Amino acid sequence: MMKMGILLQKLFRNIKADLKSTGINLCILTVSFITLVVSTVLMINIAKVLSGMSKNLGLTIYLKENTSTEDGTRIANAIRKIHGTTEVKFISSENFKKKFLNKNNLGLDSTDSIPSSVFPSIIEVSVSPDFAISPSLLSMIQKLKKLGTIEDIEFNENWIKNSARIFKIAWVILLVFTAMMVFSSLIVQSNMIQLGFSKKKKEIEVMRLCGATNSFIETPVIIEGFFIATLSSILSIFLTYILFSLIKNWFLSNVGQISNFEPAFVPLPLTLLIIIIGGLIGMSGAYIASRKSLGV
């Protein structure tokens, strides 16, 4: 406990001794994290828009003429187990005939001569909005088409493909922004720490003469890196949330009444993940810089 108190005292003494460099480091890291948070917010809302437009999306699977009721039920049960399907209904050719006649207001007596085999057995599949815009749905459709008992699958192919493509592009953009943010933050953090070491060169030499180990010298620096980067990530989330709230209020006042869409911010678990990533980047950058500066 006493050792931690000494480390914290050393941390705040280091920050106070070079407020200018600390402030610059904090600002640059905050801007870097803002780009990540903004791109995450955009990704979340793109997915939300696409999901909202895919609410009523479903598949109609036409089975081959000789498919038995048992085989149709077995396929329906297998599809029901796939994550993302919300409702799966097997309709035999007999039931499909009744459904068709009722829908078109045709009497059953006048169509008794029409055999049920004329009508196909089908499986109606409803999917969740999130599953509807994911590449997994197209993959599932391709696998189903390879089954010998399936004649055809009716679905909005263009919409599913375009939604999956947009979602994939958004993911790639988010990953690129994340990689750029991590790389730039590591460079900034590392350079600022090395600059701090160069300013304290004589102090470090004196500490070494007094028997200080490398771990004793670098531990406060690593804690400082963690503290500044974590604070930067929290600030970036706070500032982005303020901007998001202003845009959201404007949107709901001007567009929300006709679109029924409410923009969403980064959920709490993802917010905590961004803060953790920030702390890890700070620690990593400080560790790399301290090792390099101490010649370890």
Please tell us whether the domain made up of 58-155 is placed in CATH 3.10.105.10: no
**SS (HEC) of the chain:** CHHHHHHHHHHHHHHHHCHHHHHHHHHHHHHHHHHHHHHHHHHHHHHHHHHHHCCCCEEEEEECCCCCHHHHHHHHHHHHCCCCEEEEEEECHHHHHHHHHHHCCCCCHHHCCCCHHHCCCEEEEEECHHHHCCHHHHHHHHHHHCCCCEEEEECCHHHHHHHHHHHHHHHHHHHHHHHHHHHHHHHHHHHHHHHHHHHCHHHHHHHHHCCCCHHHHHHHHHHHHHHHHHHHHHHHHHHHHHHHHHHHHHHHHHCHHHHCCCCCCCCHHHHHHHHHHHHHHHHHHHHHHHHHHHCC
| Domain(s) of CATH 3.30.70.3040: residues in the chain | 58-155
**pTM of the full predicted structure?**
0.69
Instruction: List the pLDDT tens digit at each of the 296 positions of the chain.
Output: 445 555 556 656 666 666 677 778 888 888 888 988 988 898 888 878 777 766 667 788 888 877 788 888 888 888 888 888 888 888 887 776 676 666 655 555 555 555 555 677 888 888 887 777 777 888 888 888 887 788 888 877 777 777 778 778 888 888 888 888 888 877 877 777 777 777 777 777 777 777 767 777 777 778 888 888 899 999 999 999 999 999 888 888 877 666 677 888 999 999 999 999 888 988 888 888 887 776 65
